[in-house]
Amino acid sequence: MSAFSRFTPLVSSLPSTIPFVGPEAIERQRGRSVKARIGANENGFGPAPSVLKAMSEAATGVWKYNDPENFDLKQALARHLGTAPENLAIGEGIDGLLGQIVRMVIEPGLPVVTSLGGYPTFNFHVAGHGGRLVTVPYVDDREDLDGLLAAVRQEDAPLVYFANPDNPIGSWWDADSVVAFAKALPETCLLVLDEAYGETAPAGTIPSIASLIDMPNVVRTRTFSKAYGLAGARVGYVISTPGTAQAFDKIRNHFGMNRIGTAAALAALADGDYLTEVLGNIAASRDRIAGIALKNGLQPLPSATNFVTIDCGRDAVFARAIIDRLMEDHGVFIRMPGVAPLNRCIRISTGPEADMALLEEALPKVIAAIGDKGQ
């Protein structure tokens, strides 16, 4: 008798995968506690005291659903960005919004263009909706704008993903190049411009709101997870034209946002002084990581994010050995890009001095222990 599947053919054909294995899972698998959690691009400096106070106060009302229209947060974001609330959609972090974007645009078999080795969660959503990934290799450790554009045109792709600054390398393009890329795309192709690390980028990296706001085929995704230290609150948003932004209302989970997370985002927007302080801490920690890498004969790559990608100068086996031994022997959790040639690298998130000190102590011991065995 043939096996019966209660799932759709698409779901039945998919592997059971998790884009990222979290540090909690690593602790369970290895029976080893994480002492320095510097691998998930979280903001280890945490949210502002004013944000924690707002979250505590909001907790007393957690028995109520959040406002399904996200009115207050849209108003605050519109003031912060200098745009209209109608240009915004709110969602459960960028990951949740990416799933909605793919759902709105992609039917089974349609091509989707992205960078080879780019953000895996976007690929996860494309696969989940039956899209066909078309990937473009990085050039000089940076996403290839010309290559992405050529692939979109060749495939007549309805969707392209581009992160600026980039994850997992931390490289970036200047704003003028990004705007030129967006305007060169066919109107039939929707650009997902992922700006998760926009706050940590150098001046001149992020296009102005006005430069792209009239383009219905551009969706800019942003988050409170990085600079604002609210990864666990899951608050993200989209900037686009009113018509594109309001399309999210057709499919989003209208009660998906939680009251405590929304209160945190509102308080974070109001505390600009703390954001400035944290951005300074992130920049200093990037320098600290770069210095540790250089002391150990490794090459830090330029970064516009809250992490530093480090070229280990050898191969993926060596890079993986560093990651495994840091965790096994010292409880230091970091990650690496998963696709060659990027997988010659390791990636370390910025964080408090205690984490940096542990990394500084552990890394030379790990490299010495690996020796030529990691070649």
Q: How confident is the model at residue 312 (pLDDT cuts 50, 70, 90)?
A: very high
Does 18-46+273-368 match 49-270 in CATH topology? no
| Angstrom distances, CA of residue 193 to CA of 35, 102, 108, 162, 360 | 34, 13, 23, 5, 35
Give mean pLDDT, residues 325-342.
96
User: For residues 66-83, b (16+ Cβ closer than 10 Å) or e, as one string?
Assistant: bbeebeebbebbbeebeb
6 pLDDT tier (thresholds 50, 70, 90): confident
CA distances from 303 to 130, 268, 309, 350 (A): 33, 24, 7, 11
The CATH code for residues 49-270 is 3.40.640.10
What's the pLDDT band for 375 if we cut at 50, 70, 90? very low
Grade residue 373 by pLDDT with cuts at 50, 70 and 90.
Answer: low
Q: How far apart are CA 70 and CA 265, in angstroms?
A: 11
Mean pLDDT of 198-223: 98
- Parse the chain into domains and list their residue ranges: 18-46+273-368, 49-270
Fold of 18-46+273-368: Aspartate Aminotransferase, domain 1 (3.90.1150)
Q: Output the pLDDT for position 18.
A: 79
- For the chain, percent of residues with pLDDT exceeding 70: 98
Span of 17-21, 128-132, 308-312 with lowest mean pLDDT: 17-21
Q: Is the pLDDT of residue 81 over 50?
A: yes
Task: Say what the pLDDT of residue 4 is.
Answer: 66
Tens-place pLDDT, residues 134-173: 999 999 999 999 999 999 999 999 999 999 999 999 999 9
pLDDT in tens, 339-360: 999 999 999 999 999 999 999 9
pLDDT band at 374 (very low <50, low <70, confident <90, very high): very low
pLDDT tens, position by position, 42-60:
999 999 999 999 999 999 9
Average confidence score pLDDT of the chain? 96
- pLDDT tens string 358-368: 999 999 999 99
Task: State the pTM of this model.
Answer: 0.95
- Residue in 306, 288, 295 with CA at minimum distance from that of residue 227: 306
- Yes or no: say if 231 and 71 are a contact pair by the CB < 8 Å rule: no
Three-class DSSP labels, 305-355: CCEEEEECCCCHHHHHHHHHHHHHHHCEECECCCCCCHHHEEEEECCCHHH
